[in-house]
Structure 1
Amino acid sequence: MASKQNADGTKRELTKRHVQMIALGGTIGTGLFLGASNSIMKTGPSILLVYLVLGVIFFLMMRGIGEMMYHDPDKHTFISFIGKYLGKTVGYFAGWTYWLGIIFVAMAELTAVSKYVQYWFPSWPTWAIQIGVLAILVSINLIAVGLFGEAEFWFAMIKITAIVVMIIVGLFLVFTNFKTPVGHASFGNITNHFSMFPNGIMSFVAAFPMVFFAFQGMEFIGITTSETQDPRKVLPKVINEIIYRVLLFYIGAIAIIMAIYPWQSLDPTQSPFVQVFQLAGMKAAAAVINFVVLTAAASALNSYMYSAGRHFYQLALDTKHSKFMKHFRKISRTGVPARGILFSAALVLIGPILNSMPQITDAFAFITSVSSDLYIIVYLLTMMAHRKYRESADFDPEGFLMPHYKFTSPLVIGFFALIYVSLFFTGSGAIWPAIGGLVWTVGFMAAIKFVNRQTAVSMNVED
């Protein structure tokens, strides 16, 4: 099927299988492969409830985004709806906030990629690995959106295959009552001596923002729509399938891990996947999982470059009176916002410089945390924009509707607000990034008002 070219030069080359894998790849990251042991140790079996609740919340958010995208599939990013329904200033703030968040998270992923490569090549310099990997992924993004979709399909396939294999191996160990160093593999290990809050209620509450960030990236579907073939057919199917697949992969994998190892016996410093595969006799388990997490980090970085380029292109369109930004309002002959991708990649390369300066390591971690917290604010604004869409003349009652809107919409908004508030009380060091997010919001809005006031004064003087 030939790709359709949009009016601005972008092309609809992403197929259903591309979009499905982009959705899954954006959600399933290194947190599951490396960080699951730590999450389980803090919360115990109740971590399954945390994943279930947040999986449902994110599914409902995606239904809200999907409803707006179904109505207007030509938008380059779901952020555009914030500007349309909440005002240009709020939309402008959300656009810059989301783009900066992407840049900082991409820096962190690039750092992770270099560490995973050095597992096999410890003598290779970090900066050379990072420049090389970024050059490859940027090239993939520059050639054509179809190539990006194909790369992301295979990146995601590797991650999903690892999870499926681990679940199958785990089920075999459970059903054969396999003897482990700490007992026998059994689903009873999940329910034995069950306690809802084994390490206190605050550890349980702290798990929500931790798992929230694991789901972050699911919204990438809302960036692919304008480059997807037949989006009104593909979008509803992909979004509706997300909840089942994410819950299968996350909850299924974590349940199997706890069935094999009682949650109190897990080693929080080691990947639970490595522990399970080594138990099954795979001597190369550590190397295999290192390859998988390398793929996961590269997949995330690939998606961030795609997303950053589209968002900066949209910011260039929205910034009317800037000689600098007008250079980024062009689409390349291959149908991608090449200048936006290259500029974003150049900023991501600041990451290696920051990493080489020990005196600002803490500041870099702080800024990364702030950018992640800002995603919550963007999600909140997106859901508020969806409410305004429902009240507008644009609302299509025959479209892809968010289910039980009158109940689920305030539920999602309230839940995201509670997660942000919880950052001030978990005692895990999250309070300062949370404060930073508020400072950024207030400061940005104040700066916009000042610039608008100065522009108005200048125009009056000229008159």
Structure 2
Amino acid sequence: MEQRELKRDLSNRHVQLIAIGGTIGTGLFLGSGKAIQLAGPSIIFAYLIVGIALFFVMRALGELLLSKAGYQSLTDIAKEYLGASAAFVTGWTYWFCWIMTAMADVIAVGVYVNYWFDIPQWIPALICVIILLGFNLLTVKLFGEMEFWFALIKVMTILALIVAGVVMLVIGFKTDAGAVSMTNLWEHGGLFPNGVSGFLLSFQMVIFAYVGVELVAVSAAETSDPKKNIPSAINKIPLRILFFYVGALIVLLCINPWTGLNAAESPFVKTFSLIGIPLAAGIINFVVLTSAASAFNSGMFSTSRILYNLSNTKQGPSIFARLNKNHVPSNGLFISTLVISAGALLSKLLPEQAFGIVTTISAICFIWVWGVILICHIKYKKTRRDLHLKSTFKAPFTPFINYAVLTMFAVILVIMLFSEAARPALLLTPLWFILLFTLYGMRRKKEKHQGLMHQS
């Protein structure tokens, strides 16, 4: 039988847009409203700090990925530097990260469509699942094309906001909220109106806004030229952070003082309404809908590839290693989609808390994954000095910066304990890791028993 492999059909254009599409999503378009209410204008510094930290995480990941041609996933790296148990836990946790994120996005799709059509939310959510599952079953290239156009809509929206904001600043435009001015950043209680505590509590939502920044790692196995495309995608992250996050938030807060924004609504919708664009709410609702669909699309792509790699490394059922005639891991796609769809029922049980619980769990699990990347890089630099010295894409300021970012992640987790919204998810998430370590122990015990039976 012919051995099929994942096809390298993603070009640099696809990889760059996947990197953008994975990071600009519900966390920025909707979650920023809640974060602004917690931190006020200082939210700009929170996005900047987390963005810089994650750039260093990505530089460490980039050097690791390019240090060995055989790496196709985070699991491969974790196994080499932290052992089989860490690889097992990290691989399945990364799958769980994207399941949680995709679950939140598919719930959101139903909510956004419900804005126009008074139908049960599960109907448009299910239609979205079926359509995107069909596209993902066809070819990798089609996934790249869909993500390209999804991301383009997000980029154009933020670009329109920034251009309009700059023009309004220059001409001294006045809205119902008052004059558009840089002074709006500090005239309503200062940069830190809710003190240091409000600033620190905003970090959980900021972390969620960045989840998916490492998706370039999952797509690495399917790029046509990894040595060129991966460094290119990673090195453009700082510009994206300054433009899409920091730039957009500065403009938002110059047009509309933070006191005029509601935590329950998108600050983008409110701001476009103030600018005077007709039907602004409907336009931005469409943008947020495509944003959620894009994030869900990325989730389907990544979860299926993670299951494929887990199976190929004997850490998951072999059924997930099978590819269809289009070189797509269809079994992994089916099971991931089924779990995401079933999990969306949580919104029926806890309609008010479901989205918050799912996004917080996602953020916590992503902190684990990013932490593993940094720890692997520390060990790589200590044990494989030869590879580091000949690397053409060395991560800067290591290992000091690795320890600094790990400390920041630990502090953010401690801060979550003081947040009523984040605390339940923070206390629940360790159960996932206990389950994984237990399953790994049982798996090892079974393998040893089978080995002894084989010897006898």
TM-score between the two structures when normalised by the length of structure 2 = 0.93
Residue of structure 1 aligned with 2:291, choices 289, 296, 301: 296
For residues 314 and 166 of structure 1, what CA distance do their matches in structure 2 show?
40
The answer to whether the aligner puts 1:316 opposite 2:303 as a matched pair is no
How far apart are residue 131 of structure 1 and its match?
Answer: 2.1
Q: Which residue of 1 aligns with 2:376?
A: 385
How far apart are residue 391 of structure 1 and its match?
Answer: 2.3
Q: Which residue of 2 aligns with 1:423?
A: 416
Answer yes or no: is the 8 Å Cα contact 1:24–1:246 preserved in 2.
Answer: no
For residues 32 and 318 of structure 2, what CA distance do their matches in structure 1 show?
44
Answer yes or no: is the 8 Å Cα contact 2:63–2:395 preserved in 1.
Answer: yes
For residues 232 and 348 of structure 1, what CA distance do their matches in structure 2 show?
33
How far apart are residue 111 of structure 1 and its match?
Answer: 0.9
Residue of structure 1 aligned with 2:325, choices 323, 329, 333: 333
- CA gap of 1:446–1:330, structure 2 versus 1, over 3 A, is closer
For residues 182 and 361 of structure 1, what CA distance do their matches in structure 2 show?
30
Q: Deviations over 1:225-255 (max 9, x none)?
A: 1101111011111110111112211111110
Q: Which residue of 1 aligns with 2:441?
A: 449
The answer to whether the aligner puts 1:410 opposite 2:403 as a matched pair is yes
Structure 1, unaligned runs of 5 or more: 1-6
Answer yes or no: is the 8 Å Cα contact 1:423–1:431 preserved in 2.
Answer: yes
For residues 190 and 378 of structure 2, what CA distance do their matches in structure 1 show?
39
Structure 1's consecutive aligned runs of 4 or more residues displaced over 4 angstroms after TM superposition are 359-365, 457-462
Answer yes or no: is the 8 Å Cα contact 1:21–1:153 preserved in 2.
Answer: yes
- CA gap of 1:92–1:155, structure 2 versus 1, over 3 A, is same
Q: Which residue of 2 aligns with 1:271?
A: 266
For residues 280 and 209 of structure 1, what CA distance do their matches in structure 2 show?
30
1:16-415 to structure 2, matched below 5 A, reads: 16-123=12-119, 125-192=120-187, 195-319=190-314, 325-356=317-348, 358=349, 366=357, 369-393=360-384, 395-399=387-391, 400-415=393-408
Q: What secondary structure is seen at the aligned counterpart in 2 of 1:12?
A: coil
Q: Structure 2: which amino acid aligns with 1:327?
A: I
Aligned-pair Cα RMSD in Å:
2.3
How far apart are residue 417 of structure 1 and its match?
Answer: 1.8
For residues 142 and 162 of structure 2, what CA distance do their matches in structure 1 show?
30
Answer yes or no: is the 8 Å Cα contact 2:7–2:140 preserved in 1.
Answer: yes
Answer yes or no: is the 8 Å Cα contact 1:40–1:263 preserved in 2.
Answer: yes
For residues 367 and 423 of structure 2, what CA distance do their matches in structure 1 show?
14
Answer yes or no: is the 8 Å Cα contact 1:25–1:299 preserved in 2.
Answer: yes
How far apart are residue 64 of structure 1 and its match?
Answer: 0.7
Q: What secondary structure is seen at the aligned counterpart in 2 of 1:76?
A: coil
Q: Structure 1: which amino acid aligns with 2:27?
A: G
- CA gap of 1:79–1:453, structure 2 versus 1, over 3 A, is closer
For residues 375 and 228 of structure 1, what CA distance do their matches in structure 2 show?
23
How far apart are residue 427 of structure 1 and its match?
Answer: 2.6
How far apart are residue 345 of structure 1 and its match?
Answer: 1.0
Q: Deviations over 1:311-346 (max 9, x none)?
A: 0111212336x7xx1222222221221211122112
How far apart are residue 97 of structure 1 and its match?
Answer: 1.3
How far apart are residue 37 of structure 1 and its match?
Answer: 2.8
Q: What secondary structure is seen at the aligned counterpart in 2 of 1:10?
A: coil
- CA gap of 1:32–1:354, structure 2 versus 1, over 3 A, is closer
For residues 209 and 80 of structure 2, what CA distance do their matches in structure 1 show?
29
Answer yes or no: is the 8 Å Cα contact 1:111–1:351 preserved in 2.
Answer: no
- CA gap of 1:151–1:458, structure 2 versus 1, over 3 A, is closer
For residues 346 and 34 of structure 2, what CA distance do their matches in structure 1 show?
27
Answer yes or no: is the 8 Å Cα contact 1:166–1:277 preserved in 2.
Answer: yes
- CA gap of 1:381–1:276, structure 2 versus 1, over 3 A, is same
For residues 88 and 404 of structure 2, what CA distance do their matches in structure 1 show?
26
Answer yes or no: is the 8 Å Cα contact 1:73–1:226 preserved in 2.
Answer: no
Answer yes or no: is the 8 Å Cα contact 1:73–1:225 preserved in 2.
Answer: no
Percent identity between matched residues is 37
For residues 15 and 68 of structure 2, what CA distance do their matches in structure 1 show?
17
Q: Which residue of 2 aligns with 1:15?
A: 11
Answer yes or no: is the 8 Å Cα contact 1:144–1:336 preserved in 2.
Answer: yes
Q: Structure 2: which amino acid aligns with 1:413?
A: L
Structure 2, unaligned runs of 5 or more: none
TM-score between the two structures when normalised by the length of structure 1 = 0.91
For residues 323 and 128 of structure 2, what CA distance do their matches in structure 1 show?
24
Moved more, 360-369 or 112-121: 360-369
Moved more, 84-93 or 272-281: 272-281
For residues 421 and 186 of structure 2, what CA distance do their matches in structure 1 show?
31
